[in-house]
Amino acid sequence: MLSLKELDIFLNLCKEPHVTKLARKLGISQSTISLSIKSLEKKLGEKLFDRIGKKLILNERGRIFKVFVEDAVLKLKDAENIFKQNRLSGYIKIGSSKSFSFFLLPKVICDFKNKYPNVYIEKFTDNTKNILEKVKEGDLDLGFVEDEIEDKEIIKEFLCKDELIVVSSNPKMKDKVFTIKELLNKKWVLREKGSGTRHIFENALGDLANKLNVFFICSNIEEIKQILKYDKETLSVVSKKVVEDEIKQGIFFPVHVKDLKIYRNLYLIYHKEKYISIILQKFLEFVRKFFKKDFYL
């Protein structure tokens, strides 16, 4: 007879293949995890994982088994949680683009953890393209992205609007008004291809994007900030929210571009076939409460 505990550990191991890390997250011993998986595999007469180094990687039989049991286990756990709402426990894996990850989600996660301390939340940070793929593959429960996505497998919820602005650390640029054509030959510091910010910026430029002098490519906001501080001749386009402190402190200055106004929508995404457990429902309530419909960054 398969036990709920064995199945729960199995599903958690599908998300976190490092036994040591999973044991720490669940507050149990490594041997408990190993024995549980061995017991499950013995009952099924099948190996569910490939042992690769220190990881247990789901194999082809394990992937099939996961499809059959995942929703059933989540529903059983929901049935338990209905009777102990104030002791809600579980594991949520979310992914977010850089703007969300560093400046918006920490408060939501902190508030949620204060109310439900037995829920573990793992946050994965990457560009929009990779977050979308991981949500589609089932590696993430939820995604937070900053680009327009149209995909038949994905449910997309609008959260708020965001403004992108051009910034520099050069004070000589703050009181002037430019056209975008006048700035094309400046030294631009941009995010990598696949970034929602870069994609939206290039779309706004249209054919002029091919004439942009891309001086440096960075994979995160903090690196862009450091380069802007170091070289006053560089420019970048970023979320207004992520540089508001530096603008107040006089470290960065908005560059006024009269023919370029860029706004984008920020979204929550999840797979259309994703089972929304009670834990996820509670987390989504926190998210939607924070990002009220007229919330502007």
Number of domains in the chain: 2
| Per-residue pLDDT reduced to its tens digit, 223-253 | 999 999 999 999 999 988 889 889 999 999 9
Residue 132 lies in a domain: no
56: which residues sit within 8 A by CB, 6+ positions away? 13, 17, 19, 37, 49, 50
Helix (H), strand (E) at residue 198: helix 196-205
Q: What is the CATH number of the domain that holds 58?
A: 1.10.10.10
Residue 114 covered by a domain: no
User: Radius of gyration of the chain from Cα atoms?
Assistant: 23
The token duo for 22 is: 């999973």
Question: Mind listing the pLDDT tens digit for each residue in 189-225?
Answer: 998 887 878 888 999 999 999 999 999 998 888 899 9
Structural domain includes residue 227: yes
CATH number for the domain spanning 244: value is: 3.40.190.10
Cut 0.75: pTM above it: no
Residue 252 inside a domain? The answer is yes
- Given 64, 83, 102, the domain boundary residue is 83
The answer to the question of residue 110 being in a domain is: no
Residue 99 phi, psi (nearest 5) = -60, -45
Residue of higher predicted confidence among 81 and 283? 283
Single residue among 47, 63, 83 that ends a domain in this structure: 83
Measured between alpha carbons, how far apart are the two ends of the chain, in Å? 53
Q: What is the domain range of residue 217? A: 162-263
User: Would residue 55 count as lying in a domain?
Assistant: yes
Give the pair of three-digit tokens for residue 172: 């000589």
| pLDDT at res. 80 | 67
CA 68, 15, 219, 239 torsion-angle sign = positive
The last residue of one of the domains, among 61, 83, 105, is 83
* Residue 35: how many other CB atoms lie within 10 Å: 13
